[in-house]
Amino acid sequence: MNPMTHFLALETSCDETAAAVFTDELRVLSSVVASQTDLHARFGGVVPEIASRAHLRNLLPVVNEALVQANISLKDIGCVAVHNTPGLVGALLVGVSAAKAFAFGLGVPLIAVNHVASHIFACRLAANRDIFPCLGLVVSGGHTALFRCDTALSLELLGGTRDDAAGEAFDKVAAILGLGFPGGPAVEREAATGNPKAHHFPRAFIDDGRLEFSFSGLKTAVLYACHGQDVKKSVPPGPGQKRADLAASFQAAVVDVLTMKCKQALRKTGLTRLAVGGGVSANKPLRAALEAMCAKEGAELVIPPLNLCTDNAAMAALAVEKWKRNEFAPADLDADPNWL
C-alpha cells in the first residue's frame, strides 16, 4: 500500500493570501486565508500593487500556520500546488515563485492549478463525492462564466460575461451607494430591508438564448436611478429606504439573470447537476433562487459552504486529479493572468 501524500497549496491570485494542506485522498487538513480587505477598502476595490506587496508579507506566515494546523512539517510535503492562472499578474507571481522555491527545495513535484476550475472543484470537496459531469457556474469578482464540466479537468466554456463580472458589478454599485468594500456582502446587507421591485433594472440577455452575461448596463442604470442625469455631482445617498430599495432591486436583477442563464444551460446541455463556485455564490438570495430553480428543473444543486466560496487554497485540491495523471508543472512555470 502506497503511503499517503501530503500536498501544500498556495493561492495568491487576487487579494487573499491562502495556503492549505490536503492529502491525495482529498482530505483537507488545514486551510488558512489572510484577507486584505482593510488594505483595499478605502480605494473601493483591489489595488494590484498593494495586493502583491501584501502577499509578500503574508505568504510565509500563512504557510507556517497551515502546516501547524495540519500538524505536519515541510519535510512531510510530497507535492506543491499553486494557482498560476487567471488573476492579477503581480499577485500570481508571488505564489508561483514561492511554490517553485518550495518544490525545488523539497525535491517534490510542482502542479499548476487553474483558479477558475478550482472554484468548481470546491463543490466536489463540499459534496465529498464525484459530481462530474455537471454544469459549472463560476461567479466572482473577476469571472462570470458557465462551463460544461465532463470531468474535474475537462471544462468547456459555454458562455461568459461581455463586460463586468457579477462580483465587479456588486463592488461598483456598492461604491455608488456608499456602502463600502467588498461590495457583495455590503449590498446584500443593505438589500435585506429593501423592496426588490422598487426599480425595474435591466436584465441583459435574459430572454436571449445565448449563454452570455452583461452587468455594465445594470450598474449604469443604478447610477442614474440614484443620482439622475447629473452624475458628475453625485453624492452617495444616506441610509434609508431609497438606498435599501436600490440595493434590493439591483441584487434582484443579478440573481434573475444568473438563475435564468443556469436554467437555459441545464436545458441546452441536458445535464442534471449544477455546481456553483466563486465569491458571489455566498449570496443568500442567489443560493435560494438557484435551489428553487433546480428543484423545478429536476436538477441537483451543489454549492460549497461559505468558506469554500471565496478564494482559498483548499480548492486547489484539484491538483490531486493532475497528480494521479503525472501532470506536473515545469521548473520554469510562469504566472498567466489571462485564461478565459
Quote the pLDDT of residue 2: 66
Average pLDDT over residues 251-259: 98
Average pLDDT estimate for 28-49: 91
Question: Average pLDDT, whole number, for the chain?
Answer: 95
Average pLDDT over residues 181-206: 96
Model confidence at 44: pLDDT above 90: no
Rounded mean pLDDT of 180-202?
96
Per-residue pLDDT for 340 more than 70?
A: no
Would you say residue 104 has pLDDT above 80?
Answer: yes
pTM of the full predicted structure? 0.94
Is residue 83 a known part of a binding site?
A: no
139 annotated to bind ligand: yes
Pick 238 or 67 by higher pLDDT: 67
Residue 235, all three cell numbers? 453624492
- Percent above pLDDT 90 for the chain: 89
User: Which architecture characterizes domain 132-306 according to CATH?
Assistant: 2-Layer Sandwich (3.30)
* 327 carries a ligand binding annotation: no
1 has pLDDT over 60: no
* β-strands 16-23, 6-11 pairing: antiparallel
CB under 8 A, 24+ apart: contacts of 57-60 = 58/17, 58/34, 59/10, 59/12, 59/17, 59/19, 59/94, 59/95, 59/98, 60/98
Tell me what pLDDT residue 231 has: 67
Please check if 55 is assigned to a binding site: no
Name the CATH architecture for the domain at 6-120+309-324.
2-Layer Sandwich (3.30)
Q: What is the residue whose three cell numbers read 466560496?
A: 309
pLDDT band at 233, cuts 50/70/90?
low
pLDDT grade for 42, boundaries at 50, 70 and 90? confident
Q: One fold for both 6-120+309-324 and 132-306?
A: yes
Q: 119 vs 39, 40, 222, 239, 278, CA distance in Å?
A: 24, 23, 29, 35, 6
235 known ligand binder: no
pLDDT tens, position by position, 150-162: 999 999 999 999 9
- CB 91 within 8 Å of CB 56: no
Q: Would you tell me the crossing angle of helices 166-177 and 183-191 to the nearest 10 degrees?
A: 60
Query: Which of 13-22, 83-92, 233-242, 260-269 shows the lowest per-residue confidence on average (mean pLDDT)?
Result: 233-242
138 is in an annotated binding site: yes
192 pLDDT tier (thresholds 50, 70, 90):
very high
Mean pLDDT computed over 292-313: 97
Residue 303 has pLDDT above 80, yes or no: yes
Q: In sequence order, which residues have a C-beta less than 8 Å from that of residue 329 and are 6 or more positions away?
A: 84, 109, 110, 111, 112
CA distances to 137, 155, 219 from 171, rounded to whole Å, are 19, 28, 10
The answer to whether 49 is a known ligand-binding residue is: no
Domain ranges in the chain?
6-120+309-324, 132-306
Q: What is the rounded average pLDDT of the residues 238-242? A: 92
119 is in an annotated binding site: yes
Q: Does 227 belong to an annotated binding site?
A: no
Taking residues 266-276, what's their average pLDDT?
Answer: 98
- On whether 187 is known to bind a ligand per the annotation, the reply is no
Of 50-54, 61-65, 236-240, 277-281, the one with minimum mean pLDDT is 236-240
Which range among 164-173, 212-221, 230-239, 318-327 shows the weakest confidence by mean pLDDT? 230-239
